[in-house]
Structure 1
Amino acid sequence: MTVIRLAEIRDVELSVDEVVAAVKDASAGGVAFFVGQVRDHDRAQGEEDSRAVTRLSYSAHPTAQEQLREVMEKIAADFPVRALAAVHRVGDLEIGDLAVVVAAAAPHRAEAFAACRRLIDDLKHQVPIWKHQLFADGESEWVGAC
């Protein structure tokens, strides 16, 4: 059985239900999820106070999906997971839209939590997806790999 059940970068709305279905496994006693959504504020790089965000736009390198799979293969090798799933959205997103959904299913909850945490952290730091934030004051910024 394939451990990596879903690994995609998409320009359409994401579905938590699809990710839930992807990691369903009779041998998994624990399933952990992370859902990232666009919030209405953020700190600009180098600032202490948050500013109002009006929307975001995500862009991905052409190799991003391949690199996402590589990240997931490493996690599958490091943790006793039964199933992994990850989807990240690209394009223009509004406040409240889902930007990323990841999940890990494992025999026990501690393993599922650890694998899920590593999955979102490694995705954010290693997969070439960039965020362009648009602030209410008309300014914007690009944020490194997300």
Structure 2
Amino acid sequence: MPPGGFAEGRAVAALSAAPIDMAGLLAGAHHPGAGAVVLFSGEVRDNNAGRAVSLLEYEAYIPLATSMIAEIVATAKQKWSLKIAVAQHRIGKVAIGDTAVVVITASAHRSEAYAANRYIIDRIKHEAPIWKCEHYADGTKEWGNNCNCHTVTGDVNKHIYDTGG
């Protein structure tokens, strides 16, 4: 494991105005007791719901978002006995192709690492006070929550990943 890794207690900021250092985060996410490391990277795409997107902009209520992300990560770490769990979300303007959010989980086995990773990203997107503005190629923009599942489900309280169980 590289010196200064998360297993040695190195902290990562939950929110970042600077581009996310995915390689650096991954380099610190190795642990001798982990046989699985899962990295999720949410990338900014050039389209949404049939509209051309030119960039995204994120705002957050920083004190609450920071504490919520820490609680979400800590809960996952305990629930799945993770060796490492980190999450970082961008704030500010994020260009097409750039990383908006990263979640890394490391555990003894892949099933726990995958399940915990999905849990962390879903809770961050649906619970953390982070708002997203989509800037469209036609010059218009639209603010919304970090989650836009309601455009698919028709219900602001129902998310795509909800299975009813």
TM-score (norm: length of structure 1): 0.88
Between Structure 1 and Structure 2, the one with more strand by share is 1
Aligned to 2:60: 60
Q: Give the Cα–Cα distance (whole angstroms) in 2 for the partners of residues 141 and 57 of structure 1.
A: 10
CA shift for structure 1 position 137 = 1.9
Higher RCO (C-alpha under 8 Å, 6+ residues apart): 1
TM-score (norm: length of structure 2): 0.79
1:4 touches 1:72 (CA, 8 Å); kept in 2? no
In the TM superposition, what are the counterparts of 1:50-129 in structure 2 within 5 Å? 50-62=50-62, 63-129=64-130
Aligned to 2:30: 24
Structure 1 residues 114 and 122: CA distance shift in structure 2, 3 A: same
The one-character-per-residue Cα deviations of 1:74-126 (angstroms, maximum 9, x if unpaired) are 11221121100111111011111111111100000111111111111111111
Root mean square deviation, CA, Å: 1.7
CA shift for structure 1 position 67 = 1.0
Q: Give the Cα–Cα distance (whole angstroms) in 2 for the partners of residues 52 and 64 of structure 1.
A: 29
CA shift for structure 1 position 6 = 2.9
CA shift for structure 1 position 22 = 2.8
CA shift for structure 1 position 138 = 2.1
CA shift for structure 1 position 7 = 4.5
1:5 touches 1:84 (CA, 8 Å); kept in 2? no
**What count of residue pairs does the alignment treat as equivalent?**
140
- Gap regions ≥5 residues in structure 1: 44-49
3-state SS, counterpart of residue 19 of structure 2: coil
Instruction: State the one-letter code of the partner of 1:60.
Output: A
**2:46 aligned with 1:40, yes or no?**
yes
CA shift for structure 1 position 132 = 0.4
Please list every run of at least 4 consecutive aligned residues from structure 1 whose deviation after the TM superposition is greater than 4 angstroms: 1-5
Structure 1 residues 109 and 4: CA distance shift in structure 2, 3 A: farther
Instruction: State the one-letter code of the partner of 1:18.
Output: G
The one-character-per-residue Cα deviations of 1:11-39 (angstroms, maximum 9, x if unpaired) are 00111112212321010000111001110
The one-character-per-residue Cα deviations of 1:24-81 (angstroms, maximum 9, x if unpaired) are 10100001110011100002xxxxxx10001111001022111110111111221121
